[in-house]
Structure formats: structure tokens, C-alpha cells
Structure 1
Amino acid sequence: MTAQLVSGAPASEHETRVSALRGRMAADGLSAVAVAGPENVYYLTGLDHLGYFAFTLLIVPAEGPLTLVTREMERPTIRAQLPGCRHVTFGDGDDPAAVAGGALAEVVPRGGAIGTEDAAMFFPPAVHARLRAGLPDRLWRDATTLISATGAVKSAAEIALIRRAAGVSDAAMLAAIGAARPGTAECEVAAAAWHAMFTHGGQQPGFAPLIRPLWMLDQEHVSWGDRLLESGTGLFIELSGCIRRYHAPLSRTVYLGEPPEGAVRAHAQALSGVDAAAAALRPGARTGEVYAAWQAAVGPGERVRHHCGYLVGIGFPPSWVGGGEVLGIRPGGQVRVAAGMTFHLMSWVGGHVVSDTVLVTAQGTERLTTTTRELIRLG
């Protein structure tokens, strides 16, 4: 491993993470795990680039050096960032499953068990199937939870990066709010947010800022267009700064002119909900209990949402939630909350949304994003 990595964490921290994963592998009887999700590869090695669009596989054996399988053209990047990692490449037109299978065969004995991320969006099913078919004398197990759970509790170094990301988020949100006026195009609001992100030291986040009028609010992952902002309407803004791939999202609802009927009440309920969730988000609590506190605060008559927040931290495009599997605060959730976790707490009531990134501490929670939560009227 390198002495200094672009992730901002020292080599010793990555080595500790790999050692902890190997401890869980030993308990599960795994000879190796094959990690495909960019967030998990980054967490274990610090590899930060945009080459994850091509198949990438990190092989963590029970002992010995890590192996990274990538497209051939990534060789200079891997050499610069991870000189201590064994690197195996495939050329364009080659079968990455065959190359990865050869690398796994070298470190996993016949009859040995290999854990894979079966839910990873970056592990194509066709590649996964060919990989398994090429090594029929190995045992294959779903290690998705084992691998994804490694980064749930953040270290001091990670928390410091998330704090910096929160500062970028606040700067971008203030810039977006400052640009939002009747007659302004949505794309101009987006441009202001992007400019603030990058001038405050951020890098490209996993998601682009989500900016849309409230009449489109239910189109949850649709962002800005060339529409002009109109007086008497509302605007939803959700975004996150990004520092060394760590995120701290927040969202605000702003009104252009006088808020419509019911907006003041919805704003108060949304705030009550996010505050109740933050109060319940304590070490030892279960995520279902946190959701129940949010639902009780916003009122039983409000539409039940699939979650009122989710674990956040490392993210690569196309999302900031850490991969396809989202650890959410959901009805009946049984995940235990622990100090050092960071969550994007969200409260949707009617057409009004407010959210912040919070850190779970030994005493409760600390709000990391600090943009005003007052009802925002513009123009």
C-alpha cells in the first residue's frame, strides 16, 4: 500500500480496513472477496478516478497482497495511486471475466469460498455469471452485506472530510438560493451551485444538484431545465458538496413570492419531523424506531414514505448514497445505530422538503449542514 493516498486517509487506515474485512472473512470461512463497487474499492484502497465505468474488481485474499483487475488503459493511474497493489489488466475486446477468474484462481484453492457483491450495480450479471462458470470448483457466496458494512461507522479522518463537504454543500446551497428569482432560468440556479461547489474546494459529486419546481417534486431524480422561475411558485433544491469522494447532502424548499396556502404548516411539520428523527438517532437505537419518531412528528395523516433518511459518506457517480444498496431509515428497520455513522435525514411533508446531514455522536446527533431552516421567501 502507498504511504500517501489521494483519498486523504493514511495508508495505515486502509490497512486497518483491510485487516478488519479479513477478520470477518475468516469468521465466514471465505478465502477471498471480490469487490466491484467503486465506493468499497475506494474505502479499502483509496483508488479515486472515473474509470469505474469499465469493469473493475478488487480481490482481497485471506492473506497476501491485494489484486486489482482493470481495463489496460488504467495502468498509469493504478501505478501512481496504488503501486503496492498487484495489477492485472484486460484489453478492449478481451473478456474481463476470464482475466478476473485467472486472478482469483491464483489465490483461492479448489473448494475455497469466494464472496462477491451480488447487489453491486458495477458487477454486470453477465460478467458475474461467466466468472462463476469459469471456476466451478470454488464455492460462491453472497458477501454484499459483509463488504458494504465495512464503512458504516466513520473514522475521525472520514468525519473531517464529511465536515468539509458539508461546508461546500452550504456554500452551494446559499449560491443557488441567491440566484433563484422570478424570471431566472433553472439552469442559472444550477450554474451558481456548481460554481460555488468548485470554488470552495469541492470535486464533482455523485449526483448533480437536483433543482426543479414543486409541481415536479414527485419526479424524484429529475433536475433542472431551461424553465423560467415564476412568481408564486416553489422550488426544490437538493445538492451535496464532495471532498475526496465524501458527501454531505442537504435540501431546501424556497418560495418565489408569497408561499401558497398550506406551505407554512408543511414547513413546520417537516422541521418537526427532521428534529424528531435527529433526537431518536442515538447509539443503540434501531432505524425503525427513528422512522417511527419521524412519522409521529409529521403526523399520521401524512403520506408514508419509503424512508426518512439514509447512511451517507463515500459516493461515486451516478449517486452519493454509496452504491445500489441504500441503508435507509425505513419502517420496521432493524439496523443498530452507532456513533460515527453519518445520515442524510430527510423530511417530506406535502410539497415541502427539508433535509440535512447529521453525525451520530455518543451523546446524540450533530447537524453538519447549517443552511438556515427558516421558511425561505424570495423576490
Structure 2
Amino acid sequence: MTAEPLTTPRSRTEYEVRLAALRARMAEQDLTAVALASPENVYYLTGLDHLGYFAFTLLLVPAEGAPIVVTREMERPTVRAQIPGCRHRTFADGSDPADAVAAVLAEEVPPGRSIAIEDAAMFFPPSISKRVRVRLPNRIWRDGTTLLSSARAVKSTAEIDLVKRAAAVSDAAMSVAISTAGHGVSEAELAATIHYTMYRAGGHQPGFAPLIRPLSMLDQEHVTWGDRVLEAGTGIFVELSGCVRRYHAPLSRTVYIGHAPAGAEEAHQAALAGLEAARQALRPRARTGQVYAAWQHAVTATTAGVWPSRHHCGYLVGIGFPPSWVGGGEVLGIRAGGDVLIEAGMTFHLMSWVTGHVVSDTALVTPTGARLLTTTSRELTVVG
């Protein structure tokens, strides 16, 4: 049985351009089909935006004809409503998704032809991938993990507009977080006000929940709020991102309760120097390693080199689905020795961590340099 054809949407110009670009790369590599599993890649090519990605979902792009999406049967109405230009193949709960995938590929890819598969273990479990290959022994299997990486890295005008809107949501949420923080306020209260503000400001569910924790727990990088209460003489770290149509613009600030401890001002100035140096170095034709070196030099020069190094000073951002706003399992970071070429249209979360103090913003690379899209005050922040 062939995959079910769906109706043609009224206007899909940007998605059509992306699909055509992918097919051009497929032709260059002699690929008959590409199988993509990460929600970010599926969304990039089709616009499928829902929470059903927790169950196996696969987008199959043949060299010709409409793309085919494979999902649980339960997702049929969502797929029909959101991506009518795609064909749809479903599997029932309790059945093997590999059967549905193999059946479609058998129809689309003749024996002896090549299929590229995205290596996204979280969303395309190796066990399912293996069973698909066993069912189709006469095809050539290739790695398609990076086929969309460069295309997704450089944002279109429409995508940049969404990142800018997400940045405005981020600023609104951070502003209310700072105004709410104070002695006796719980971390949960901060989280509640942040979430409320995000959605009232036009944001959608972000890939990460806001990260809120005391500076004593700063090294526990991906934990968030608890039932702790803010106390005078302590500091709180807040990292969050607004999200508009799955595009993100993270920022973070360090907030001190009552008064700033000894050394905070020095750490703050070092962090600001690093952020500005990274921003200035983030320009077309530069390499990520050069940006990291500029950040590290600025930070260490501030205090005769006593600050410890960090593994990166930022990373590429854009489309993100839970549980991440970085756009998938791989983090394209600004690291020591990095050789990734910077291009206009890229958006990065620039992060400057110095001992127990952090400041970060989302930056857009323009033809002449980088501009910070998040604008919350970068002054040393002390609240009552």
C-alpha cells in the first residue's frame, strides 16, 4: 500500500526552497532518499510543530515527489492539518515502526540505490534503524546527519525575524525575573513569573525550562528551580529563552540579593569584557576558534590571567524542541581551536562565565559584524 497523498497547501514558499536545496545536495551525492528524525530537521523542512515527537517520527525525502512522514496513527489529524503537502504513513501502537519505514523505502528506493539516514539516537533509536536496514538488505546506507547543518545554521530573513521576536520575549521575562527577585522570594515564584511573562509576551513553550539556581550550584549546569528561598548576601543565576514558533534567543544574568559579595564587581567586569570581545570577533569569515580566543584573552587580561578556562563561550541557536533549545543533540559551540566558518545570518548564544558570575546574550551575525539581540541591562545587578 502506498503512502496516503494529502492536499496541497496554499503557500509554502520557504519550505519549498529548503526542500529544493536539500534535493540539490542529494543529487550531488547520488542519494535516492533521505531519512530525518530530529524534530528540528522535520520542522525545518515541513513546519510540523507538535509534542508528538516523543514517539517515533520520521521524515522521508525522496529524490522526487512529496515527502513522506511516518508517525503514530494518533497523529494523523495533526499531520493532515499542519503539513497537507506531505504524504503520511502511520503505525499502530504496539506495532513496529520499522515495518512502516521499510515499506515506504521499499517503494521509493530501488535495490542498489543509496539512502542517507540521520544519526539522531534520541529520536531514531539504533534498534529501529537496524531493523529497517535488515528489512532492506540490497540498499546502500549512508550517513545523512549533516546534510542540513549548514543550511539551518544560516537563517533566512523570516527566521531572523522570529529570533528577534523571541529575543523580545526573553528580555520581558528576564526583566520581570530581576524585579521579582529579593530576600524571602522563592525560586519557584521566580519561575512562575517568568513563565507567565513569556506567554503573555507572545512566546511559546521553550525547549528548556528556565534555569534558576543559586550561585553555590552554578556548576550544576542543567538543573533548575527548587523550593529554595533567596537570602540576603547570596546570588542567583537565571538563564532563559523566549521561543516564537520554535525559534529561540537565550540570555542569562547574575543577580545578587541584598549586596554583591567581595570580588563580584571584578568578575562582572571580566565577564563583560569577554562578552564584548566575543561580539567584536564574531563576524563573517572568522572562525569559531578565533572568537573563543578573543573571549579568553579579554577575560584573562582583566585579572592577569587568573580566571579558569571554560569549554566554550557560546553556541549556535535557532530552532529547538524539548528537551533543548540548541537545535538537537549536537552543540555547535564556540570552542578553542574551532574551525567553523562564521557567516552572516547565524545566531549564537554568546556566554561569558567568570568564576561565579555569568552574563550572556543572543547575537546575530550581520555582514559587518555581530549585534546583540537581547538588551536586558548588563550592569551589576543587586536587588533587595
Structure 2 length-normalised TM: 0.96
Matched-pair contact (CA < 8 Å) for 1:35–1:41: yes
SS in 1 for 2:272: helix
Give the alignment of 1:193-232 within 5 angstroms.
193-232=194-233
Distance 1:2 1:157 in 2: 22
Paired position in structure 1 for 2:155: 154
> Which segment drifts farther, 133-142 or 299-308?
299-308
Paired position in structure 1 for 2:166: 165
Gaps of 5+ in 1: 5-9
Paired position in structure 1 for 2:70: 69
1:18-39 deviation per Cα after TM superposition (whole angstroms, max 9, x unaligned): 1101111111121111000000
Give the alignment of 1:281-300 within 5 angstroms.
281-299=282-300, 300=305
Paired position in structure 1 for 2:103: 102
Aligned-pair CA distance for 1:121: 2.2
Give the alignment of 1:46-57 within 5 angstroms.
46-57=47-58
Aligned-pair CA distance for 1:103: 0.8
Match of 2:332 among 324, 327, 330: 327
> Which segment drifts farther, 174-183 or 140-149?
140-149
Paired position in structure 1 for 2:180: 179
Paired position in structure 1 for 2:322: 317
Matched-pair contact (CA < 8 Å) for 2:9–2:84: no
Residues 320 and 82 of structure 1: CA distance in aligned 2, closer, same or farther (over 3 Å): same
Distance 1:101 1:305 in 2: 44
Paired position in structure 1 for 2:42: 41
Distance 2:230 2:277 in 1: 33
Residue 341 of structure 1 pairs with residue 356 of structure 2: no
SS in 2 for 1:144: coil
Paired position in structure 2 for 1:122: 123
Matched-pair contact (CA < 8 Å) for 2:255–2:382: yes
Distance 1:218 1:134 in 2: 46
- The residue type equivalent to 2:53 in the other structure is Y
Gaps of 5+ in 2: 1-6
Residue 28 of structure 1 pairs with residue 33 of structure 2: no
Paired position in structure 1 for 2:246: 245
Residue 360 of structure 1 pairs with residue 329 of structure 2: no
Aligned-pair CA distance for 1:132: 1.5
1:39-60 deviation per Cα after TM superposition (whole angstroms, max 9, x unaligned): 0100000000000000000001
Residue 370 of structure 1 pairs with residue 364 of structure 2: no
Paired position in structure 1 for 2:4: none
Residues 302 and 29 of structure 1: CA distance in aligned 2, closer, same or farther (over 3 Å): farther
SS in 2 for 1:99: helix
Distance 1:138 1:217 in 2: 49
Aligned-pair CA distance for 1:107: 1.0
Aligned-pair CA distance for 1:303: 1.9
Paired position in structure 2 for 1:268: 269
Residues 2 and 306 of structure 1: CA distance in aligned 2, closer, same or farther (over 3 Å): farther
> Which segment drifts farther, 122-131 or 367-376?
122-131
Residues 162 and 71 of structure 1: CA distance in aligned 2, closer, same or farther (over 3 Å): same
Aligned-pair CA distance for 1:120: 4.5
Distance 1:26 1:355 in 2: 41
SS in 2 for 1:145: coil
Distance 1:121 1:292 in 2: 33
Structure 1 length-normalised TM: 0.97
Matched-pair contact (CA < 8 Å) for 2:9–2:85: no
Paired position in structure 2 for 1:80: 81
- The residue type equivalent to 1:187 in the other structure is A
1:92-142 deviation per Cα after TM superposition (whole angstroms, max 9, x unaligned): 011001111111111111111111111452111111111111111111111
Aligned-pair CA distance for 1:2: 5.2
Distance 2:56 2:217 in 1: 35
1:229-251 deviation per Cα after TM superposition (whole angstroms, max 9, x unaligned): 01000000000000000000000
- The residue type equivalent to 2:319 in the other structure is I
SS in 1 for 2:35: strand
- The residue type equivalent to 1:341 in the other structure is M
Matched-pair contact (CA < 8 Å) for 1:281–1:337: yes
Distance 2:151 2:64 in 1: 18
